[in-house]
Structure 1
Amino acid sequence: MQKLLPPFLYLITLISMALLCWSLDVNHLIVYPYNLVGLPFVLAGLLLAAGAKKTFVHVGTNVMTFSEPGKLVTHGAFKFSRNPMYLGFAVSLLGAALLFGAGIVSLVCWLGFIAITDRWYIRFEERAMREKFGSEYAQYCCQVRRWI
């Protein structure tokens, strides 16, 4: 199951939200045009995730979740969140949930994404980072929160 990379979980969650909201006759808490408030969240989240990935590429470190970490990145968005790519995906999915009318089903999908990301991906990565970077990573963890 380690082969399910975060962008694929993001897409699976997004598609599940859409299909469940449209196939089930779900009560929408936010109706058109008010649901469009989700659009800036979708865009901002994707920009945050893409910008954080670009930072990794720029410094020449590994972006792949289940590979050995290359470098400890602490600048850019990583000054504010230890996981800005995951945060960006979560913000984007929240925006999608709002666009889909903030039905309970879409919000549960969003929370499921956050739980899986936090308990599976982030825990795995933090363990690898502690092993590779030791006290330097521990100090970074004291200064920067996991999500925001």
Structure 2
Amino acid sequence: MNNTHILPPTYLLIAIVLMIVLHFLVPLVKVISFPWNLLGLLPFGAGCVLNACADRAFKKVGTTVKPFQEPTTLITDGVFRLTRHPMYVGFVLILLGIAIFVGSMTPYLVVVAFPFLLEKIFIQVEERMLEETFGETWLTYKQKVRRWI
């Protein structure tokens, strides 16, 4: 497959920059102030841990973490028992944590839109590839484990 695709971490970085820009240019209303905004560190940290665990699982079995590349192994244990896409859930948690931390309303627009972007650009393609590669094993896993949470 073509390796020139923009990878998910780049979309995450763009989303973070967009959230910060929105916060400073169009904050609308401050909904969470200090010290409550520090609670944003919890989803942020959980998202980082979820991504690290998923990345470790990919490396452990020696399959690709990159979308659009054919996987060699279907991972169904560890964090993959909670969600079929733990890295994307982690990304959304990171964005949620940042939105809570900055405390204004407009960054939540990015938090809400981001999963739809991931769904359209990555998840649909990845799940189609997984079904083609792993067939019935994928379909059984798909029935047992939710896409998000």
For this structure pair, what is the TM-score category when the shorter chain's length is used for normalisation?
A: over 0.9
Q: Measure, in 2, the Cα distance between the counterparts of 1:74 and 1:102.
A: 38
Shift of 1:95: 0.7
1:103-136: CA deviation from partner (whole Å, max 9, x where unpaired) = 1x21111111111112221111000001111111
Alpha-carbon distance in 2 for matches of 1:102, 1:77: 31
Residue 24 of structure 1 corresponds to which residue in structure 2? 26
Aligned twin of 1:141: 142
- For 1:112 and 1:4, the matched residues in 2 are separated by 18
Question: Post-superposition shift, 1:25?
Answer: 4.0
Give the AA of the match of 1:15: V
Instruction: Give the TM-score of the pair, scaled to structure 1.
Output: 0.94
**1:51 Cα deviation after fit:** 1.0
Aligned to 1:13: 15
Distance 2:37 2:69 in 1: 38
CA RMSD between the two structures: 1.2
1:126 and 2:127 are equivalent in the alignment:
yes
Paired residues, what number? 146
What is the rounded CA distance, in whole Å, between the counterparts of 1:110 and 1:86 in structure 2? 12
Q: Which residue of the partner structure matches residue 107 of structure 2?
A: 106
For residues 27 and 67 of structure 2, the distance between their equivalents in structure 1, rounded to whole angstroms, comes to 36
User: Which 4+ residue blocks in structure 1 deviate beyond 6 angstroms?
Assistant: none
Structure 2: runs of 5+ lacking an equivalent: none
TM-score in terms of structure 2 length? 0.93
Question: Do residues 57 (structure 1) and 53 (structure 2) align?
Answer: no
Partners of 1:20 and 1:32 in 2: how far apart?
Answer: 19
Counterpart of 2:133, as a letter, is K
Give how far 1:26 is off.
Answer: 2.6
Q: CA deviation at 1:23?
A: 2.1
- Cα displacement (A) at 1:86: 0.5
